[in-house]
Chains A and B, each alone.
Chain A
Amino acid sequence: MRDALRVRMKPDWDEIGRTSERGLRFLASHRISPQLAEALYMIISELLENSLKYGVYATEKERVALSIRVADRQVIVEVSNPFDESCRAHLETLDKLVQWIRGYQDPFEAYLEKLREVSRRPLQDETSGLGLARIAYEGGAILDFFVDEKKLLNVSALSTLE
């Protein structure tokens, strides 16, 4: 049984469902409970959606990279995408948001606060941060991110196996 799945995805919205399903099949091979698999499917999909919303795909060859690792009673979902200086504002927002979520002892409270905030925002506002708050609350995952030496933005969610 493989401990990790690595997929390179074309930055196309229609690929998200197929790639998330592939992640789900990998998780099923690790006999992860259906309930946790359901939560991980959501985590994979939300992170892939963010990578398409905020990534920079300058050439046809650029891809989103998804990695799922299962080890030591933990599942780590990591999504990376090309990134450049034009995304500086997004990086700052991401940093603030991750710190803000971590500041809550219970991610449910952070999620409720986001719901209240989003209910007052314009409908077309895509930068709500609701997806990350949902990952922390519904997915019970710890979020982290870094920019590597290849200028790839890596966002990860760590979930503990029940």
Chain B
Amino acid sequence: MTDTQSFTHDSLRVEIAEEAQSITMRWFGKSTMRKPGDFLAPILADLLKRGNESGKRIVMDFRTLQYMNSSTITPVIRLLEQARRSAGRLSVLYRQDLKWQHLSFSALKIFETPDARIELKGAE
């Protein structure tokens, strides 16, 4: 059974679906808020907590995201950094055929861990 939660702010919608092996957060639309952290930080903190408590891999799926401003990158990289420092497992999925997604997300590979506990995967 999949339990899905949906959160919307301005033109951004995120959906969180918990499955047997993973908790997936899918991003839709555009993130152009002035302070996206106000909206995203509690959602991401809860996601990390759920991932750590359940032992499930967190999947951040950005493939349906159309645009994000640089202010949105901050809460995302803080989640990556926090997951890296905890025992959490986290995958970031992005579209490598979209130049902006490829450039934005491939740069975040600096947060990957050698054991693939934190990983970034480009897909089409």
Binding site for B on A (CB under 8 A): 13, 16-17, 35, 38-39, 41-42, 45-46, 49, 52-53, 108, 111-112, 115-116, 118-121, 123-126, 128, 130-131, 134, 137-138
Given A17-B32, A119-B78, A124-B35, CB of A130 within 8 Å of CB of B67: no
Which residues of chain B are near A137, meaning CB under 8 Å?
A: 103, 107
Identify whether the interface residues of B are mostly helix, strand, loop, or mixed.
helix
CA A108 to CA B71, docked complex, whole Å? 18
Binding site for A on B (CB under 8 A): 11, 30, 32, 34-35, 37, 41, 67, 69-71, 73-75, 77-78, 80-81, 99-100, 103-104, 107-108, 110-111
Identify whether the interface residues of A are mostly helix, strand, loop, or mixed.
helix
Which residues of chain B are near A13, meaning CB under 8 Å?
A: 34
Q: Mind listing 25 A-B residue pairs with CB under 8 Å?
A: A17-B30, A38-B100, A39-B99, A39-B100, A41-B67, A42-B100, A45-B69, A49-B69, A111-B107, A115-B73, A115-B108, A118-B73, A118-B77, A119-B78, A123-B37, A123-B74, A123-B75, A123-B78, A125-B74, A126-B35, A126-B71, A128-B70, A130-B73, A134-B73, A137-B103
Q: How far is the CB of B28 from chain A (nearest CB, A)?
A: 16
A138 with B110: CB separation less than 8 A: no
CA A42 to CA B41, docked complex, whole Å? 23
Which residues of chain A are near B81, meaning CB under 8 Å?
A: 119-120
